[in-house]
Structures are given as C-alpha cells and as structure tokens.
Structure 1
C-alpha cells in the first residue's frame, strides 16, 4: 500500500504557463512565507535555501519548496495517506488543494520506491481527470483519458509485460501529464524554476559560512613586506610601492626584490654589530695596557 509520495501541485491562472516558465522566473521568500501562514498559521517556518526545483533533491517530510510566479504557483512537498488508507489524489487535502485561488489546479505525485505515480486536474474546483497506480495495480482512473495519454494506453511507450500489467509505467505518464499541462519539461533539461525551500518542523536555520575570503597574492605580498619592516612606514624604504595586480612573473620579481632587500639589511646589521664589538674590544685592551703601565 502506498502511504507516502512526493507531490508537485500547480495553481494556474493563465492560459499559457510555458510563456512564464520559459523565462526562468525567480522565487520570492515573502510569498512562500505567506503561503505557509495561510496553509497553517502554527507552522514554525524556517527557510532552508533557494535553488532550481528541477535541479535539486526532492522535498522531504516537513519541507515545502515554493515558487510564486506571475499567474502560477508551484509547491513541492510530501503527502501521506490518513487512517491507514491508500494514498489517493482524489482525496488530496482540500486545504492544500485550495491554498491558492486558481482556475486550474494540477497535482502530480510519485513514490519511487513502490513504483506508484499519479496525476489529477481540477478546473474551478471540479475534478476533471485523475489517474494513479503502479504497473500492476490501478488505483484511480476517473474522467476521460486526455489526448497525450493515448500512446501510453496503446503500449507505444514501454516494454509490454503482459498479464494484468499496465501497458506503460505510471511515472512516465505522470511526467507526460505535467509536461503537457505546463508546456515545459520539469527536469534538468527544462528551464530553471527557482523555488525557496522551507522546513516546518522547528529545525534551526542553516548556518551561513562567514569565513573571510582567501587573500590575493597582492595582499599576501603586502602583508609579508609589512612583517619584514618594509614599506612606507620604514624610512629606509620610502620608495616602496604596493604592487598592482600583475602577472605571476611580476609578483615573483616583487617577492625576490623583498627577499634581496631583507638579506642586504641583515648583512648590514651584522657588519655594524661586528664593528661595534671590535671597537669595544680594542678599547678594553687599551685600558688594560694603561693599567699595567701605571
């Protein structure tokens, strides 16, 4: 028995949904929050990201992926059967089905594990067509088959298994229904449909990585020069200039110059220290000699 499925529900108020979806419309966080507040004011809503519906992992329990576009709203979530009954699209929760006032409402759902899939269409609140089942069990089939269904029922779209098996894979027919109604593919080959994801189970909002961006070669060179005592703050190197963004060879030359300058400075300091020690030693010897003569 199928008791859980991923659902795409479309609320449509325009005659040509493809004219909007082909433009790859963006999502609005505020719209999604309003949708959930109307669906259940007690939901503890947590945004969990923004991404293309057709290029992301499917929504999980207690998650809603919502996209509100001109004349169209799409929501992906997970639905469950109630009271140990089979999952039927005809009995889709009216609160969810009527969450957005729409001329046409389309529901497309599937359970990959059980091989179950189905679709339904309501026009001005009236059920026009519903189908659901597995390859070996037909669960719903109300309303006249639509034109896009004909090749599937004729066995032209799948290998025939014989016996009581349906002449097609239910999920293939469900995807064809969604593609026919929306006018575009709802997969990785179709236009990007941006949605905002929300969780309603009280989980905390994902942490955003606030680590500082990596430093550029220019900044690393400048920092190294400062630590070595070079640059404008050092009177011996008033002509030092910060390197501009140049090719790698120029940056290497700058580093080489800094190293050579630092080495020269170290040699000079060592030489001066040696002279100081020699002078001190000579003075000590003169003092000792004078004392002995006295």
Structure 2
C-alpha cells in the first residue's frame, strides 16, 4: 500500500454525510482557519486541489476547506505518534464548539496508523500503532470497524522470507477501514457504494512560512 494521510476534520454532525454535500470552500473562512492554525506566520494562497490528492500535502503546504458545519485541514503537523498529547495546541483549539473532531494519519513506508476522535471537546478514542513500535497509544473504546482486527479475523499469514508480521493485523488495512468509517472514503481499498468521492471535495492551498 502506498497511501498516506495527514488530515483533521471539524464537524457539527456526521462527517461523511456532511462532506458529500459540500461545494466550493469559503475562501475567507478557510484562510482565517489556516491563519489561526499558524499564528504569527506568513500564510499565502497556493492554488486549489482536492482531498483525494492532498490528503497528505507536501512539506510547507496546507490544504483546507471550510463549509457550513464542516471544515477539513490537511497538514503534516498532525502526523504525530500520540494524538492525545502531541498535537499542536492550535489544532485542538480549532475544534472548540464542534460536535466532532476527527484525526486520521497513516504512512505506508513504515506501516504506521494513528487516528483519534473527540466529541464535544472530549477525547473518546485514540489509536496509534506500527510494526516497529507496536501499540503506541490505545485510549477509549474501539469503534465497530476495529472489532474484526481485535478478534483476530484479519490475521496475516507468515511470510516465508521474513517470518511472522510483528502485529496480528496490518495497520494499513485498519487505516483504510478507519478512514472510511470516520471520514467516508478510502485511498487504496476498493470503494463501496455510498463512499465519499474525495476527488470531488475541493480544497484551497496555502504556503506557510515563518
């Protein structure tokens, strides 16, 4: 798998359903959000793209979109091992007053996954796991999409050359199910009827510098 994500969603309801209804992002509100995330830094417009393309943007760029009831930010700063303690405070503060905040991050090179969910400002679930470090963080009650992995239903076969995989499941497979369950789309898994078309979610780009 070659998928990578680094995104946060702030929402007043069901994230996938809200994102299915969005059109063009509000330029002023989106720029204001990015400036709040990077106080004291220079924020410059840098074109447009989509959630599908910029789920993990290049270094120095942030892609975001603001619509009624939902905001999306794609930013490498959210790729942290411990979402409960290592997120920049501005990222958490931007979720104040929202019913739900969702973080999703994965990196295929190291088979790493992290996701976290806050509801009404309260952390309800966080998981971070990789084959090198094992379970880095595991807080709260698992979501339904996690249960088959925890029950051993997604166990991996031993590799003849490398031996057994260090974990009882592949983190990137869980990452795809988490992305679909929490945000509504997948990067490399087969889409299902009703999935969000992330290529239709338009985002505005911003270059951030000190």
Is residue 160–residue 168 contact of structure 1 (8 Å, CA) maintained in 2? no
Shift of 1:134: 0.7
Shift of 1:59: 0.7
- Residue in 1 that maps onto 2:171: 170
1:93 aligns with 2:88: yes
Rounded Cα–Cα distance in structure 2 between residues aligned with 1:51 and 1:89: 26
- Residue in 1 that maps onto 2:103: 107
- Give unpaired runs (5+ residues) of structure 2: none
Rounded Cα–Cα distance in structure 2 between residues aligned with 1:50 and 1:146: 33
Count of residues in correspondence between the two structures: 192
Q: Deviations over 1:203-259 (max 9, x none)?
A: xxxxxxxxxxxxxxxxxxxxxxxxxxxxxxxxxxxxxxxxxxxxxxxxxxxxxxxxx
Is residue 88–residue 140 contact of structure 1 (8 Å, CA) maintained in 2? yes
Query: Normalised by the size of structure 2, how large is the TM-score?
Result: 0.79
Is residue 120–residue 130 contact of structure 1 (8 Å, CA) maintained in 2? yes
* 1:210-289 superposed matches below 5 A: none
- Give unpaired runs (5+ residues) of structure 1: 203-294
Q: Which is bigger in relative contact order (C-alpha 8 A, separation at least 6)?
A: 2
Pick the structure with more strand per residue: 2
Query: Normalised by the size of structure 1, how large is the TM-score?
Result: 0.58
Which entry has the higher C-alpha Rg, 1 or 2? Answer: 1
* 1:53-64 superposed matches below 5 A: 53-56=51-54, 58-64=56-62
Could you say if the C-alpha distance between residues 35 and 186 of structure 1 is closer, same or farther in structure 2, counting changes exceeding 3 Å?
Answer: farther
Is residue 5–residue 107 contact of structure 2 (8 Å, CA) maintained in 1? yes
Backbone CA RMSD of aligned residues: 2.6
- Residue in 1 that maps onto 2:19: 21
